[in-house]
Amino acid sequence: MKLLKNEIDFRKLVRTEILFMPLLIVLPLVVGFFLIHDWYTRGFLMGNFEYTAQLFFGLIIIIGNIAFDIPFIKSIRELSKKKMK
Amino acid sequence: MVEVVKKLKETKKKIDSIDFDAHWYRRVFHAFGASFLFYYMLPNEDWINVLKFWIPPAILAFALILEILRLKGKISSQHFFGLRFYEKNRIGSYVFFAFAILILLRFFPQQIAIPCILCACISDPVMGEFRIHYDIKYVYIIGFLLSMSFFMIACYKADIFIMFLISIIGAAGAVIGETKKFWWLDDDFMIQMVPAILLLIIWIALPYFGISIPQENIIYPGLMPW
């Protein structure tokens, strides 16, 4: 996968990706937890099975995002360390 | 004043020292798309319904304007992190991604829209990662099984035959959508719309054969605290 990144002078960039980063990481986790919380309060505690899919989709969103967040954050740390050297 | 300037310079240096791997940035951006399922959780209040109606197309219009300005050279491509080479002279794939999500949220039932969105947000980056490390046939198998599981969860209230029918066709559509790439139409759009259209045809056709499909929601609107 060839990315346009190679042509870019990072010093000239307005670092839009930095502004997005907290949103990219935090929002999906919040949505995932919200789905699970809703399943717990309106489904599990009330004995209502209508909310079961919310539990699974909440888990999928959280696991799916964490699976990509970890290598992403690792890559930031590694690249930043290299740059600092 | 000198202190402020010094602090600003230090902050800028720190920000400049942060470097991103564009590959993983794109993966995270994909997974982030699952956040749009929050749309279904918003309460059914009048003013919220107005926001639900206008905000998604407004976001898409904003992205489209940015892309048009980029393609016309008014905004430098340098401001768009993680673009691929083939996107340099074409609308970025994130616009196709958002456009497909908007269509699904607006015009498709939840049972179709939710798994199709998750196919683009989760299956697509997972398949992309597997493509780097494994043979292509394993990529298709993993993509198919993962997508199938999303459709199965979405149709868990249906009869077992309907559940498998919808899951197999939906997952096959997602894998086909992912593999088909056109210069003018991105796979981020195809992976969502191919299974959605296939399933919509089934959705409309099945009642004519006397087979009922569960129409209940999967994600329920939240309740206002007041």
Which residue, among A63, A72, A8, A26, has the nearest Cα to B23 in the 3D structure? A72
B38 touches chain A (CB under 8 A): yes
ipTM summary value: 0.85
Of all residues in chain A, the percent with pLDDT exceeding 70 is: 72
Give the residue from A28, A57, A54 showing the smallest Cα distance to B216: A54
Distance from CA of B207 to the nearest CA of A (A): 23
Sequence-separated (6 or more) residues with CB below 8 Å from residue A11: B16
User: Phi/psi zone of residue A47: left (φ > 0), alpha (ψ -120 to 50 degrees), beta?
Assistant: left
* A10 with B19: Cβ contact below 8 A: yes
pLDDT at residue A80, rounded to an integer = 66
More confident residue, B186 or B82: B186
Burial class of residue B11 in the structure, from the number of CB atoms within 10 Å of its CB (0-12 exposed, 13-18 middle, 19+ buried): exposed
Which residue in the set B17, B118, B219 is minimally distant from A84, CB to CB?
B17
Selected residues 112-141 of chain B with any CB under 8 Å from a CB in chain A: 114, 118, 121-122, 125-126, 128
Q: Do B220 and A3 touch (CB under 8 A)?
A: no
Instruction: Answer whether residue B145 is part of any domain.
Output: yes
Q: Give the pair of three-digit tokens for residue A10.
A: 């990072």
pLDDT digits (tens, 9 = 90+) for B106-141: 999 999 999 999 999 999 999 999 998 889 999 999
Full residue range of the structural domain in which residue B89 is found:
24-209
Tell me if B10 is assigned to some domain: no
Range of weakest confidence among A1-10, A30-39, A56-65, B145-154: A1-10
Cα radius of gyration rounded to whole Å, chain A? 19
Q: Is the pLDDT of residue A11 over 70?
A: no
A81 touches B: beta carbon within 8 Å: no
CB contact under 8 A, A31 and B35: yes
Per residue in B86-103, pLDDT (tens digit) is 777 788 888 999 999 999
In a domain, B215, yes or no: no
Q: Does A59 touch chain B (CB under 8 A)?
A: no
Structure tokens at B169: 């066709």
CA distance B226 to B221: 15
What confidence score (pLDDT) does residue B74 get?
Answer: 82
Chain A residues whose CB is inside 8 A of the B20 CB are 17, 75-76, 79
Can you spell out the DSSP letters for B45-95?
-HHHHHHHHHHHHHHHHHHHHHHHHHHTTSS-GGGSTT-BGGGTTS--HHH
What average pLDDT does chain B have? 87
A21 or B84: which leads in pLDDT: A21
Q: Find the closest chain B residue to A55 by CA distance.
A: B219
B residues 170..209 contacting A (CB < 8 A): none
What are B41-63's pLDDT values in tens digits? 999 888 999 999 999 999 999 99
Confirm whether B77 is domain-assigned.
yes
- Give B187-211 as a DSSP string: HHHHHHHHHHHHHHHHHHHGGGGT-
Whole-angstrom Cα distance, residue A59 to residue A45? Answer: 18
pLDDT confidence of residue B112 = 94
Residue B180 has pLDDT above 90, yes or no: no
What is the model's pLDDT at position B4? 79
pLDDT of residue B213: 76
Of the candidate ranges B59-68, B82-91, B138-147, B195-204, the one whose mean pLDDT is the lowest: B82-91
**pLDDT at residue A82, rounded to an integer:** 66
Nearest to A83 among B17, B153, B156 (CB): B17
pLDDT recorded at residue A78: 75
- The reported pTM is 0.86
Distances in whole angstroms, Cα of residue A7 to Cα of each of A3, A12, B78, B92: 9, 12, 8, 17
CA distance A47 to chain B (A): 16
Number of domains chain B is built from: 1
Assigned domain for B3 exists: no
pLDDT band at A81 (very low <50, low <70, confident <90, very high): low
* Residue B10: pLDDT over 80: no
Provide, as residue numbers in chain B, all residues whose Cβ is less than 8 Å from the Cβ of A75.
20-21, 23-24
State whether A75 and B24 contact (CB < 8 Å): yes
Q: Please count the other Cβ atoms lying within 10 Å of the Cβ belonging to residue B153.
A: 22
Q: Is B32 on the interface with A (CB under 8 A)?
A: yes
CB-count burial class (<10 Å; 0-12, 13-18, 19+) for B219: buried
How many CB atoms neighbour CB B95 within 10 A? 20
Return the pLDDT at B15: 60
Q: Is B13's pLDDT higher than 90?
A: no
Domain assignment present for residue B42? The answer is yes
